[in-house]
Amino acid sequence: MGSLFAFTLLGLFTGAAYAIVASGLVLTYATTRVFNIAHGAFGMVLAFTFWDFTQRQGLPTLLSLFLVLGVVAPAIGWFIQRFVTRGLGEGPVSVALVVTVGLLVGLIGVAQYIWPPEPRVLLPFYAETGWKLGDTYITAHQVVTIICSIVVAGGLYVLLNRTRTGTAMRASVDNPELLRLFGGKPDTVAAIAWAIGMSLAALGGILLTPAVGLDYYALTLLVINAYAAAMLGRLKSLPLTFAGAMGLGILEAWAVAYLPTDGFWSTIRPVIPALFLFAVVVAMPQTQLRIGQVKGIVAAPVPNLRKSLGSGAVLLGFAFLLIAVVSRADVLLIGIAATYAMVMLSLVLLTGYGGHVSLAQFTFAGVGALAYAKLDQPNLVGLALSALVAAGVGALVALPVLRLTGLYLALSTMAFAVLMDKMIFQADYAFKFNGTLATERLSILGVQIGSDTSYVWFMVLAFVVMGLFLLWLRRGPLGRILIASRDSPSGCGTLGLDLRWFRVGLFSLSAGMAGVAGALFAGLRGTVGAADFLYFQSLLVLLLAVVFGVTSVTGALLGGTALMLLPVWQSSPELAGLLFAVLGFGAVLLGRDPNGIANHLFRLGRLGSSRVLPGWEAKLRERMEGLLKPSRPEPAHSIDTVIETMIDEPKGVA
C-alpha cells in the first residue's frame, strides 16, 4: 500500500503539470479553433529562456519566473495570434496543422541556434526542501506543481465564468461575428487567450523540466500527453481536461511501478499517453459535416497525358546523366531523395487531392521496409507484397476512425505513429531493439539490380510511374470525387455520396505508395533499422510537402530533394538550428498556400512562355496562311483556330 500511495502521488505531480499545459492548449483552441501542435515547443523554448535568465544571466528565480510568465510568454502569444494564426481557424484544418507544425520545427531550430547542445540542469524549486508522509518523501517542487495546477484551474474558472473577458471568450467560440456585432472584439479576445495559453505552456515546461531535462525533443513531444488530456475534454471542457491529465499521470506512474520491465509489457509503458489519445479519439462522437462552407484550395495545374509523359522522360534522362557523373555517395543521396519524394507523392494523394492530413506517413514507409526485410523476397513479388502489407495497415488505421475527419483524424494518425515507433519498430520481433535487418537489392525476372547507379535510376523510374499514376487518377472520375470531397464534404453528403469507405480506400492506397518507397529504401541501404523511421520524421515530410507543394508531383519532387539535403547541410549544430528555423518559419509563410513553391514556379513558367510563344505563334500563323491560301482560302478566324489547336496554352507541369 505504501508503494501504491507513493506512485499515486508521483502520478498526481506529473498529471498536474500535464493539466497546466493542456489547459493552455484548450484555451487557445476554444477561442480561435486553431490546434497548436507547437504548444510543447513553445513550452520548451520558454523553459530554456527561464534557464538562461536564472543560470546564464544570474537573475533571481522569482524575477526570472515573472519575466518569463508575465512578459516574454504573453508577448509571444500576442505576436503569434496577431501575425501567424489569425484567421487560420476559419480555413481547412490541414492548413492550420501545417502552420503550427512549421512553428514546432522552427522553434526547435531557434532553441538549437541560441542554446547549442550541451549538458544543462534546471534545479527543482526549493530543491532541498521536502517532507516525509509515511514512507513517502514529497518534494517542495511536487507540492508547488500541484498548487499551481489548482490555482490555474480556479483562475480559469473565474476568468471564463465571472469576468466580462471570459464571457467574450465563450461568445467568440460560438459566433465571433455575432460578438463583433454586439461591440465585442474577437481579435483582442483571441490575443488574450493566446497570451494566457503561452504562459501556461511556459509554466508547464518549467515545472516538467527538472524531471524530463532540458532536451529539445523530449519537452516538445511530451505535449502528446497534453493532447490526450485535452481530447478527453473534447477541446472545450476544462474540468474534463484536468481530470484526464490527472488520470493519465496516475496511469503512467502505476505502469512504472507494476508493469514488468521486460517482454511485451515493457513496450506498453512508454506509449500509455499515445494509447490514451488513440482510445479517446476513437471514442469521440461522430463529427458533423461543416455546412455552408467550402473549404477548398485552388489546385495546381494538371498537365495532359502528353505533357506528363514528356516531363517524366525528361526527368529520367536528367537522372541518368546526373547519376553517371556524380560520386557514389551522391548517387545514394539521390536514392534517398527519391524515397522521400515517393512518400510525399502519397501525401499528394491523401492531403493534396483528398484533403486529409496524416502525421504517420513515414511510419507507413517503415512498415513497407520491415515487410520487405522480413519477407526476404528481393523481387517484384516481394515489393508488391510489401506495398500490400503497408496498404493493409493503412486501412486498419482508418477503420477505427471512419466517423472522424480533420483534426481528430490527424491526431489519430499521430498516436498510431508513436505506437508503431515504440511498440513495433523498437521491439525484438521487428528491428531487434533499434538494431538493423539485412536486405538485398531488388531483382527483376531473376536479374538483380546490383550497381548503385542502376538501382537509384530504378527508384527514379518508380517515382515517375507513381507520378503518372497520380496524374491519371486526378484527370479521371475518381480524381473529381477526391477534389469534391476535399472542397465540400457537406455537398458530397447532400448528393448521397458515402465517403467513409472511400476514405479507407484512400488511406490504404496512400499507405501502399509509402510502403513501396520504404521497401525500395531498404534495398538501397542494404540494412534497415528502427532509427530510420522515427515518427518525428513524418512531421518533416508533411511540412516539406506543403512548403514545396502538396497538390502537385513537382512539389513532391522538390520536397523530397530538400529533405534529403537537410542533414547534408547540417554541418554544425548552429547551422542545423538555423536551417530548422528557416524551414519552420518558411513553412509558416507558405502554409496558407498548399500549392507551395511549385505553384510559384508554374507562374514563372507561364510568364516566360507568354513572352516567348507569341513570336513563334505569329510566324506559324504566317506560314499556315501561305500554305492554306492557294488551295482553299479560309477566313482569318479559321486560321486562328488551327493555330490554337497546334499550340497549347502554356501550363505548369505538375
Query: Per-residue DSSP letters for 128-167?
Result: T-EEEETTEEEEHHHHHHHHHHHHHHHHHHHHHHHSHHHH
- Asked if residues 198 and 75 have their Cβ atoms less than 8 Å apart, the reply is no
Choose between 624 and 187: higher pLDDT. 187
With a cut of 50, say whether residue 652 has pLDDT above it. no
- Asked if residues 448 and 441 have their Cβ atoms less than 8 Å apart, the reply is yes
Choose between 309 and 238: higher pLDDT. 309
- Detail the DSSP E strand segments found in 375-456: 436-438, 443-444, 447-448
Please return the burial class of 218, using the count of CB atoms within 10 Å of its CB with bins 0-12, 13-18 and 19+: middle
With a cut of 50, say whether residue 1 has pLDDT above it. no
Q: What is the fold, at CATH topology level, of the domain defined by 2-258?
A: ABC transporter involved in vitamin B12 uptake, BtuC (1.10.3470)
* Predicted pLDDT at 525: 86
Report DSSP state, residue 172: H
* Size of the chain in residues: 654
Cell numbers found for residue 73: 510568454
Mean pLDDT of 418-423: 86
Residue 653's pLDDT band, with cuts at 50, 70 and 90, is very low
* Predicted pLDDT at 368: 93
Cα 340 from Cα 517, distance rounded (Å): 8
Rounded alpha-carbon distances, angstroms, from residue 507 to 282, 388, 401, 427, 469: 16, 12, 11, 25, 16
Residue 637's pLDDT band, with cuts at 50, 70 and 90, is very low
Q: List, for residues 46-96, the tens digit of each pLDDT value.
A: 999 999 999 889 899 999 999 999 999 999 999 988 888 877 776 667 677
* Predicted pLDDT at 631: 45
Which residue in 102, 163, 76 sits closest to 544, CA to CA? 102
CATH architecture for residues 328-594: Orthogonal Bundle (1.10)
Beta-carbon contacts of residue 555 (< 8 Å; ≥ 6 apart): 300, 344, 348, 352, 545, 548, 549, 595, 596, 597, 598, 599
Cα 576 from Cα 556, distance rounded (Å): 23
Domain boundary assignment for the chain? 2-258, 328-594, 600-646
Residue 464's pLDDT band, with cuts at 50, 70 and 90, is very high
Domains 2-258 and 328-594 share a fold: yes
Which residue in 159, 150, 183 sits closest to 30, CA to CA? 159
The whole-chain average pLDDT of the chain stands at 80
Mean pLDDT of 351-363: 87
Angle at 632 between CA 626 and CA 634, to 5 degrees: 75
* Predicted pLDDT at 269: 75
Please name every residue paired with 72 in a beta bridge, in sequence order, or none if there are none: none
